[in-house]
Structures are given as structure tokens and as C-alpha cells.
Amino acid sequence: MYQLTLKKGEERRVQTHPWIYANEVQSIEGKDKQGSVAKVLAYDGRLVGYGFINHLSKIIVRLLSRKDATFDRNFFYERILRAKEYRESLNYGEVYRAVFAESDELPGLIVDRYGDYLSVQFLCLGMDVIKPMIVDILVEIFAPKGIYERSDVAVRTKEGLPLTKGLLYGNVPERVEVLENGSKMLVDIINGQKTGYFLDQKENRANVMRYVEGKKVVDLFCNVGGFSMCACRGGAREVTAVDISEPALEQVRASASLNGYEVDTVCADVFQWLREERKAGHKYDVIVLDPPAFTKSKDTVKQAIAGYKDINIQAIKLLAERGTLVTCSCSQHLTIPLFLDMITESAREAGIRLRLVELRIQSRDHATLLGTDEAIYLKVATLQRID
């Protein structure tokens, strides 16, 4: 087993964070395979914890435990079972994030449940090494009909791992029908975004139903229409879904048909569509604005804020009197203070007064560890036009 000793004082940060960076390490002793479990000590010899080691990554250790343990099949079984039991306590039905990596003390492992099927990601070397064991445990705990891997994400390259996807167990259909927030949804696990669907917005989509009854609603950057389905279920009199992806809109129409909902779909660049709608003098009672992350690094935050401001200004100008704007950002680098400042500046430039009704983050199945600020990535603000 590798044994790492941290530089003096570095253990203080690690008390509330599960990552250890290579530049925080004073010395390394012992020998083992990359991806194995290593022991970490403070400068004075006190135990910091145990975690997966990877010399190729800037994050040299991802902590699994802060006390002595045997890191065998039973250890991982208990962790995954505990994660499942927490989700079951939320009464989410059978659609939820079952394992959220470090937040469930299972670094690098993402498991999303879509009814009888699981979509998984192995995002660090240590978890990738034990993939067969993890799949076996998932089969035992969840008894799924199929497990599909969606480890086709760029973060794996930082771990020295190739991007990969494919069937790991059983069979997975091209589209899976699930029930979310009372509506039927079609999820493409194999080729959809991320693991097939944006489950982190589950509760925020349900929350939109509070505001839409009898309203004219537009769902911008709608993807496969989760907000649109909730708007219909909430009693909106008219729902329009806008996205640049025609395949995504086809899924919106298919899900709407399953539920007997009426949704108008528009394939367009949202930035351009907003300007055209404004020129046409159209107004909407409820606008949902859920764009992709405009920045994935601290270096591009300034440019991202400009992009967020642009679409928010245009959306605010389309709000009807006493209209509601639900605006989102899924970029971890756009912090909550920056997010609120951006909205405030957007309203000021639009010349329209808004009041903040709610500020939300990702759903409870995406709970985060205190001290891991980067894990609070999703921000959702609900605002009302008051002038």
C-alpha cells in the first residue's frame, strides 16, 4: 500500500474536502498499483484517511474513508446500499441519481436510475479498476434489467482514462419510458445528454407547476422537455418548447404524445429566437431559461457572464406584466453571488424591476458535502416582474 504524508498544515483543508492534490504531498512511501487504495497521514503522523491513488492526476488521492477499514466488496456494497436507502427516503419513485460520487463517499462513481435501468459513469481510475465488482454489486442491490456505461466524458482524460460507453449488463432499449413528476418521459440512456437526462432539475421542474396554471409558458433550451411536461401537467394554457436540436424536440413531441399534452416545438437558436419574439411584440407569462454551461473554467467566467446577461436581458423583456422568470445556470464557476449579480444587472439593463421569489439548487438526490463548493453547481432563481 502507498503511504502519503502531507506537507505541514495541509490536513486542515482536507478535513472538509475529499480531494488531495499532488502539490500538498510531502512524501510518498511504499508501492502498489495505480488506482489502489492508499493511506494518507498528516505531517505529524495522524491519520487523514484512505483513498484511491493516481499519480497521473493532479488530484493524487480521492478519499474513501477517514478511518481504518477493509476496502473489500462488502465495503462498497454497504456504501451503495446506504446511497440507495437515502434516495428511497426522498420518495422519488424510480427515477433518481442513486450514487453521486464524493457526496456518497464513492469518488468517481455516478449511478442514475431510470426505472428498471441504470446509467453509470466511472470518472476516476480507482473506481474504473474495480468496475466489474461495482457492476456486480449494482445488479445485486437494484436487480436492473440493464446497466449502460456513459463514461464518455472529458474528465476521464485527466485521470489517464479513455472515453468509453457501452452495455455492461443485460439489455437497454434505445429509449426508456419513465414517470417523473407525474408525467411520462422518454429517456435516451445510450445517446442522450450526460447519463441520458438532467436528473438534477427534477425538483425544480416540479416546482414550476406552482406558477403555470392558466399561463402562457415558454421553455427555452428545453432539451427533451422536462420543464415543458411539468408546465402542461401544472395546467398551463399554452406551452412552447424551444431548442436548437431537432432530435431533442422530437423527444419532446413523443413525450407530450404519451401524456396527451399539447406542446408547440420550435427548432431555433434561442438567442436569435428571443430577439425575433421581442420584435414581434410577443409576451409570455412564464419563461423558463435553462441554458447549457457557458463556462467550464475560471478563465472564461467573464465571457460566460456576458452570454448569460444577453439571454436574461432578452428573456426579461419578453415577460408579461407580473410574469415569472425561472432562470438557471449549471456552471460551477458562476457562483451564487455572481449568478445573482448577473440577474440584477440584466434586469437593470432591461429596464424592468424584478423581485426574487425563490433561489434553489440541484435536487436532493444530488446532495453535496459541505466544503466542496464546486459541487453546488446548479442555481435556479424564480423572479417576478413587478413594474
Is there a contact between 262 and 248 (Cβ–Cβ < 8 Å)?
Answer: no
Statement: 3-65 belongs to CATH 2.30.130.10: yes
pLDDT of residue 59: 96
Comparing 138-142, 228-232, 296-300, 311-315, the range with the smallest average pLDDT is 296-300
pLDDT of residue 166: 97
The percent of residues above 70 in pLDDT, for the chain, comes to 98
Is there a contact between 304 and 294 (Cβ–Cβ < 8 Å)?
Answer: yes
Per-domain residue ranges of the chain:
3-65, 73-170, 176-385
Of 331 and 108, which is predicted with more confidence? Answer: 108
Two domains, one topology: 73-170 and 176-385: no
CATH number of the structural domain 73-170:
3.30.750.80
**351, three cell numbers:** 429596464
- pLDDT of residue 152 exceeding 90, the answer is yes
Residue-level length of the chain = 387
pLDDT of residue 332: 82
pLDDT of residue 188: 95
**315, three cell numbers:** 428573456
pLDDT tens readout for residues 75-99:
999 999 999 999 999 999 999 999 9
**96, three cell numbers:** 433518481
The percent of residues above 90 in pLDDT, for the chain, comes to 89
Q: What is the average pLDDT across 372-377?
A: 76
330 catalytic per annotation: yes
pLDDT tens readout for residues 162-206:
999 999 999 999 899 999 999 999 999 999 888 989 999 999 999
Q: State pTM to two decimals.
A: 0.92
- pLDDT of residue 331 exceeding 90, the answer is no
pLDDT of residue 78: 98
pLDDT of residue 303: 84
Average pLDDT of the chain, as a whole number: 95
pLDDT tens readout for residues 33-85:
999 999 999 999 999 999 999 999 999 999 999 999 999 999 999 999 999 99
What kind of fold does domain 176-385 have according to CATH? Rossmann fold (3.40.50)
Reported as a pLDDT band with limits 50, 70 and 90, residue 371 is confident
